[in-house]
Amino acid sequence: MSEDELEMMEFENNIRINVNQYLFVFLAAVCFGLSLMVAIFSDSPLWLLAVPGVFAGCLLFLKPVICFWMVSYGAMLAGVAVSYIPGMYHLPWVITLLSFLLGMHMILYLLFVHNGLIRLLDTIFLLLTAFLFHAIFISLLNGVSGKQLIISIKNYFQFYSLLLFFLCYPRNIQRFSGQLLKAFLLIALVQPVIAVCQYVFVVPTLSSLSKTYSTSVMDAVNGTFGTSLKGGGTGMYTLFTCTILCGLIAAYSKKTINRTFLILGSIYFLFPMLLNETKAAVLFLFVGSCIVIFISKQINVGKKITLFVLSVLMGVVMALGTLYMYSRYSKNVEEVIRETIAYNFLDLGYGRYSLNRFTSLTFWWEKNNDNLVALFLGHGLDATEEADNEKVLAEPGNVARKFPLYGTGLTMASRLLWETGVLGFVLFSLAIFIGFYRCCRLARSSALTSHEQLLALTTASGLGMTFLFLFYNNAFRTSQPANLFIMLMLGITICLRRKQKQFLTSQDH
């Protein structure tokens, strides 16, 4: 048995359990679950599945790798079920609970495995841990209720366990890096099919409802990342698809795929983007592709120019496609351009809000620059949450009550500044910047295999676009797929960085 296989066995079996114990736990779960179903006459599926679910969770607790994949695939693909199937509203909570189980396992592993705590000494992990404790402290200081604080921590830190997972994963991740690339590709391959179905079946319904409801029709084309018959999207489809497109460019630069596959793959993933209203996709793709083109050391000058022109052409096609979609809905293109500039950078409010993406930042400064505590520490988690959905919070946050329908938490940047102050914003954004910087260097590191360099290059483009994403919307807080994707990229960075350090240490010896 190889060293990698032995290490994997140690990783997954640090809490040992034999086959007989598995059988006992399984039979106990079934018997107790059936008896509970008979004992309680409830029509609620949550009650009926609660106890078997707990025992199933206990079994998954012993299999962290399986739990990791269930969390990852679940968060990225469950949005369709949550959006369109009645009664599936609580499914994201199941995924979050699985994530918490994974985190508990990782904490035990770090506490009881020799030298486990040393692995915590990673800058990204320490910054996000400091952000976590700061957010809790300032929330308690501002009198945030226990219920609100629990929900806030759930929404902000539900995939914090992924960082622990990547800290603990075995040293040799060559096979795992390939599995991650395949997982990204599999999830990406599903998106265009779902997006086209949404355009064919959901958008017409929204068009008929738009006369009576406030809807954003084309935002409904959002893949598996969640939408609804009320319209609107999270932008996660744009971020993920642009990352995949950048990954194709990265794979081509490393000669993993040929030119034909690059062109066909780009068309396949790009076409559904033309059905989506997200105009920022042009900027996202341009930034992400430029990162790949200028970081990759395998690309010569001529190929860099070719790929740059290709990325510009893709952006132009996306821009023209978006304008064409507007013209189909009887909107004047020139008016759309003027309105877009106005509700992003001028004084026009975004949608129903008084503020927009730019003025939400200037408004924060105007209202907090004379209060150093609020300026640097913030008003507590979910202070800007409007709680217009009764299932989200019992009541709006203190900032939202003071400035109703202003849109103080319109973007993640403005939300972080209001809720956690300059300190929280710096901790969070610095973690992303360090992850981006590291991935740019890891993509050129001889300590990593070709697959690992490709993963680092793709992650670098994703984290680069994440900076724009922070100023685009607040999906990290409101969208489970966006939260997972960003934490997953940071976790991959931690793991690849540890692999590089171990390689350099072995070279020194």
What is the CB-side half-sphere exposure of residue 474 using CA atoms within 13 A?
Answer: 24
Question: What's the pLDDT score for residue 95?
Answer: 85
CB 155 within 8 A of CB 478: yes
Residue whose C-alpha is closest to residue 496's, from 461, 447, 462, 463: 447
3-state SS string for 184-252: HHHHHHHHHHHHHHHHHHHHHHHHHHCCCCCCCHHHHCCCCCCCCCCCCCCCHHHHHHHHHHHHHHHHH
Q: What is the pTM of this model?
A: 0.84
3-state SS string for 47-61: HHHHHHHHHHHHHHH
Question: What's the pLDDT score for residue 129?
Answer: 93
Q: Residue type for 240, please?
A: F
Question: What's the pLDDT score for residue 471?
Answer: 92
pLDDT along the chain (509 residues), means of 10: 55 46 52 50 49 59 81 83 66 82 80 63 90 94 85 89 82 72 87 81 65 53 67 74 89 84 86 73 86 77 75 74 65 73 81 86 91 91 75 71 88 94 95 94 86 90 93 88 93 88 69
Question: What's the pLDDT score for residue 415?
Answer: 95
Question: What's the pLDDT score for residue 156?
Answer: 92
Question: What's the pLDDT score for residue 65?
Answer: 83
CA distance linking residue 404 with residue 327, whole number of Å? 34
Question: What's the pLDDT score for residue 214?
Answer: 43
Question: What's the pLDDT score for residue 130?
Answer: 95
Question: What's the pLDDT score for residue 3?
Answer: 54
CB 272 within 8 A of CB 322: no
Residue whose C-alpha is closest to residue 391's, from 92, 182, 158: 92
CB 248 within 8 A of CB 457: no
Alpha helices in 346-479 (DSSP H): 359-368, 372-377, 398-402, 412-442, 450-470, 475-478
Sign of CA dihedral 118, 122, 127, 131: negative
The CA-atom distances, in angstroms, between 498 and each of 103, 283, 501, 502 are: 19, 32, 5, 6
**Could you tell me the end-to-end alpha-carbon distance of the chain, in angstroms, rounded to an integer?**
25
Tokens of 76: 């990225």
